[in-house]
């Protein structure tokens, strides 16, 4: 399995995409792109321990959500959201790549705009690759 | 009918997912992701959240089996799942870099279960690397922990028989330890 987190060029492209996402969403506070087994590819914003722990948790959450989808025969999981009193967390797979993106938004960002913007970033990372 | 939770822990590649697939009567829930650390442990996928399966022992006892991820970066899952566990099976791959160090590490990580006598050890992949021996494990654990006599077996997680035997031994041991604790309370009271 190709280790995206060890490919410097790919990592810096992802960083550019996260910065661009932050430009489009002023309420985005932090974000990370991680391999599906939890290694950090790139991050935005201030994250404890460089986002390593968030990376592992993102990978676990995504896998659990997919297990629930499979159990219920719901088709493919598209994204996950967590709502708190302070805002929203959005997680999504990066299409067919073994990668997951997670982004934290404050309550200035609507959940709809947050999801839409994360999806745009996913498309950008895949370079417009068809799903 | 009683329902009890048994956890399976141990290093990456020890055979935790394999063991739950062997043991479970029902279809297992898996959370495998592509393994990007093939140079460390050569297998295509790795567990990132949990494995879940169920087995009936007799007509009365349903055992819920949770496998945890082996990689230490996922140790938050260990902390979440250990809270519900009655007992723990630690699987150690004998071909790991430092298998004796690993067994003590897991003993310490799950010390509350270990302390109350709820742990057994299964040494796997000893067909690939026969040493250390079971005796080496027992001596090493006795040297590094306050409780002597953690039941230790050679097992192949691909074998349902091996895993059922180990699961029974664990449950018997837990029952015996509970009996001892009750006896102590009675004689103190
Ligand atoms: N030859 C041999 N192979 C074994 C034995 N036990 C396990 N294996 C193999 O070793 C591999 C173990 O893989 P998993 O079951 O995914 O390991 P795991 O402990 O769940 O690993 P993580 O989830 O990554 O922590 C599988 O390919 C098993 O078939 C054994 O005793 N002998
Ligand atoms: Mg596993």
pTM: 0.93
- Which DSSP state fits A107? T
Strand duo B2-9 + A99-106: pairing: unpaired
What is the nearest CA distance from A68 to chain B, expressed in angstroms? 9
Closest residue to atom 10 of ligand 1, CA basis: B15
Helices marked H in B124-159 — which ranges? 134-144
Rounded to the nearest whole angstrom, what is the distance from the C-alpha of residue A98 to the centroid of ligand 1? 22
Q: Which of the ligands is closest to the CA of residue B51? A: 2
Taking only the tens place, the pLDDT of each residue in B132-150 is: 999 999 999 999 988 778 9
Q: What is the total count of domains within chain A?
A: 1
- The CATH number of whichever domain residue A12 belongs to comes to 3.30.450.30
Residues in chain A with CB shorter than 8 Å from the CB of B34 are: 1, 35-37, 98
CB of B18 within 6 A of ligand 1: the answer is yes
Q: Can you tell me which residue has the tokens 């009750």?
A: B182
Secondary element (H or E) of residue B65 = strand B61-67
Answer CATH for B2-188 from 2.115.10.20, 3.40.50.300, 2.120.10.30, 3.40.630.30: 3.40.50.300
CB of B84 within 6 A of ligand 1: the answer is no
Residues in chain A with CB shorter than 8 Å from the CB of B69 are: 60
Domain range holding A122? 4-127
Q: In this model, does residue A68 exceed pLDDT 70?
A: yes
What is the nearest CA distance from B148 to chain A, expressed in angstroms? 35
Taking only the tens place, the pLDDT of each residue in A94-122 is: 999 999 999 999 999 999 999 999 999 99
Strand duo A28-35 + A40-44: pairing: antiparallel
Count of residues for chain B? 189
Across chain A, mean pLDDT equals 93
């Amino acid at each position: 399995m190709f280790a995206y987190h060890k490919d410097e060029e790919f990592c810096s492209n992802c960083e550019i995409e996260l910065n661009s996402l932050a430009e489009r969403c002023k309420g985005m506070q932090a974000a990370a792109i991680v391999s599906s087994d939890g290694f950090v590819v790139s991050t935005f914003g201030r994250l404890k321990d460089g986002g390593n722990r968030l990376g592992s948790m993102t990978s676990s959450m995504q896998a659990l959500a997919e297990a629930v989808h499979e159990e219920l025969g719901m088709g493919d999981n598209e994204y996950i959201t967590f709502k708190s009193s302070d805002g929203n967390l959005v997680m999504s797979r990066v299409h067919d790549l073994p990668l997951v993106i997670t982004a934290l938004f404050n309550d200035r960002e609507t959940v709809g705009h947050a999801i839409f913007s994360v999806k745009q970033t996913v498309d950008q990372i895949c370079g417009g690759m068809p799903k | 009918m009683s329902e009890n939770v048994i956890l399976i822990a141990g290093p990456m590649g020890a055979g935790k997912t394999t063991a739950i697939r062997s043991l479970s009567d029902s279809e297992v829930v898996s959370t495998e992701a592509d393994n990007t650390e093939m140079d460390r442990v050569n297998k295509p996928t790795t567990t990132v959240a949990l494995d879940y399966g169920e087995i009936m022992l007799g007509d009365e006892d349903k055992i819920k089996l949770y496998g945890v991820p082996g990689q230490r970066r996922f140790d938050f899952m260990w902390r979440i799942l250990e809270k519900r566990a009655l007992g723990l099976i630690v699987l150690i791959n004998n071909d790991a870099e430092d298998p004796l160090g690993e067994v003590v590490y897991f003993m310490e990580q799950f010390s509350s279960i270990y302390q109350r006598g709820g742990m057994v050890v299964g040494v796997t992949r000893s067909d690939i690397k026969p040493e250390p021996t079971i005796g080496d494990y027992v001596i090493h654990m006795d040297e590094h922990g306050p409780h002597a006599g953690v039941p230790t077996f050679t097992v192949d997680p691909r074998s349902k028989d091996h895993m059922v035997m180990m699961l029974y031994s664990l449950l018997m041991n837990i029952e015996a330890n509970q009996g001892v604790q009750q006896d102590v309370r009675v004689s103190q009271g």
